[in-house]
Amino acid sequence: MKTFVDIEPEFIGIKLEETMRFSKHIRWISLLLLVFSAITIAQESPVVIEAYRAEPYGDNTLRRRGVMDGNQIRTLYFNQGEVGKWPDQPSGEWPKGSGHSYLAGLAMIGGARASVNLGGLDTFITPISTAYREHFDRDPVSGKPWGWEPVPGYLNPRGDRPAISNDARSWPELWPEAIFTYLDQPASNSINQEEVDGQPGIDDDRDGDVDNFTYWQGYFGRGVKNADVETFFVMDDASDREWQRPPYNYFPIRADANRGGLGLRVEVRGFQWSQVLAEDNIFWLYDIVNISDTTYDRAVFGYLSDVGVGGTDDSGDDNASFDLELDMAYAYDQDGRGTSDFGTWSPTGYIGYAYLESPGNPFNGFDDDLDGMIDERRDDGIDNDGDGLLDCEDDNCLGEYGCIEIDCTNGFDDDGDGL
């Protein structure tokens, strides 16, 4: 299997000079208002890659919109990777219920450099995938968008929203088997009410009778709802046909003429906690897997951000800046005044996007992200961050989402998170 090689984080027009060598599987975490992100690394097995390849292609007809409102932020989001949508509301509303809008739209971007042969010469192309309401590439004949689309199986197709933890009717009756291949769990995932406390029965046809018992496939475990609100969807770039056309003829999986783009699959989760220290944030996690035949030597992850601090009618005086030491970009209103259906309001706040842990290149000997650590690999057996806990020495103590086994910690639940 081929891999990605380098990644350069780039967002909101700011290129951060860090690169990172990573394998088949990268994971980002983000927050909105403020937005932070982090990365972990894992190697996907050929069995997992084949399971992902066997999933249906992303399907434009399964696009859905939902609302995250589990804390002081309330916002629209979409299962093709968008957050907010001008002029619809709520789009980045804060505080919840105020009508104060900070966002016109946010779109996740993923791309890489690939090599094609043009007239006997090796030439680089740079496919980029995103999904946004405007200025977006489309098929010149069908008009279909070229970018992220939701992968079937991760929502109730009869529902009107992405799968979200506080609405059992939005969940699929059975979660796709690819999840369990990755988690090394039994593929049979239908369980009884008694087996997961608090999981409701689902009346799919709304006839008053429970049709099945299902559960939430949470980030923190099967049937576990740690966050006040959690959403989960999967998207891919299979519908992006732009570079399949002559003269480029680029196919990420050579044996699959129906898959376009770069062969990227992205699991997306959003989290909200109402606890006072997290109530002004949304965490977004992007689990990006390269399922193509190709090793990409340069890749990018980022956001297209269209801020609207002060509301839909008062975004013309917005300014933006950034702080490289904090790995943060942010925006604010010039005069500190906004407008809404409730009238003029002030002062306006800030909307920001930052990385919890910006990726660095563990092979170049430099502290790329200025956090005091040169080698940020989590499998080197060294206490790089000085917390008294050795990093995992091998993959045997790496759980689905990082170091969770007792033999790669001090044996105590120091932070009270149950691990």
Residues near 123 by beta carbon (within 8 Å), at least 6 away in sequence: 115, 116, 117
Q: Is the same domain home to 268 and 300?
A: yes
What counts of helices (H) and strands (E) characterise the chain? 2, 29
3-state secondary structure 259-302: CCCCCEEEEEEEEECCCCCCCCCEEEEEEEEECCCCCECCEEEE
Residues near 386 by beta carbon (within 8 Å), at least 6 away in sequence: none
Query: What is the pLDDT, as a whole number, of residue 35?
Result: 53
Domain assignment present for 364: no
Q: Is the same domain home to 415 and 325?
A: no
Q: Is the same domain home to 244 and 393?
A: no
| Cα 261 from Cα 283, distance rounded (Å) | 27
Query: What is the pLDDT, as a whole number, of residue 25?
Result: 53
Q: Is the same domain home to 348 and 389?
A: no
Query: What is the pLDDT, as a whole number, of residue 45?
Result: 82
Q: How many folded domains does the chain comprise?
A: 2
pLDDT digits (tens, 9 = 90+) for 6-55: 443 333 332 222 223 334 555 555 555 555 554 443 457 889 999 999 99
| Cα 51 from Cα 185, distance rounded (Å) | 13
DSSP structure class, residue 170: G
Q: Which residues of 97-119 are buried (b: 16+ CB within 10 A; e: fewer)?
A: eebbbbbbbbbbbbbbbbeeeee
Q: Which residue has the tokens 């091998």?
A: 394
Domain assignment present for 135: yes
Domain assignment present for 43: yes
Share of residues in the chain with pLDDT > 90 (%): 48
Domain assignment present for 1: no
Residue 414 belongs to domain spanning: 378-419
pLDDT digits (tens, 9 = 90+) for 309-364: 998 888 789 999 998 877 788 999 999 999 887 788 899 999 998 776 655 666 67
Domain assignment present for 363: no
Domain assignment present for 371: no
Q: Is the same domain home to 114 and 38?
A: yes
| Cα 102 from Cα 100, distance rounded (Å) | 7
User: How confident is the chain (419 residues) per 10-residue block, as mean pLDDT?
Assistant: 40 30 47 49 74 96 98 97 95 94 93 93 94 89 93 96 96 89 57 43 55 78 92 97 95 96 95 94 89 89 90 88 85 90 87 72 71 68 67 45 40 46
Q: Is the same domain home to 407 and 343?
A: no
Across 113-259, where does the E strand assignment appear? Answer: 114-118, 121-125, 128-129, 149-150, 163-164, 201-202, 212-213, 217-218, 221-222, 229-236
Of 58, 35, 70, the residue nearest 226 (C-alpha): 70
Q: Is the same domain home to 158 and 285?
A: yes
DSSP structure class, residue 67: E
Return phi, psi of residue 89, to 5°.
-125, 150
Q: Is the same domain home to 319 and 398?
A: no
Of 209, 211, 284, the residue nearest 27 (C-alpha): 284
| Cα 30 from Cα 272, distance rounded (Å) | 11
Q: Is the same domain home to 209 and 284?
A: yes
Domain assignment present for 368: no
Q: Is the same domain home to 141 and 267?
A: yes
Q: Is the same domain home to 247 and 337?
A: yes
Of 55, 56, 82, the residue nearest 68 (C-alpha): 82
Q: Is the same domain home to 38 and 108?
A: yes
The span from the first CA to the last CA of the chain, in angstroms, equals: 33
- Give the CA radius of gyration of the chain: 22
| Cα 294 from Cα 115, distance rounded (Å) | 9
Tokens of 119: 């007239």
Domain assignment present for 261: yes
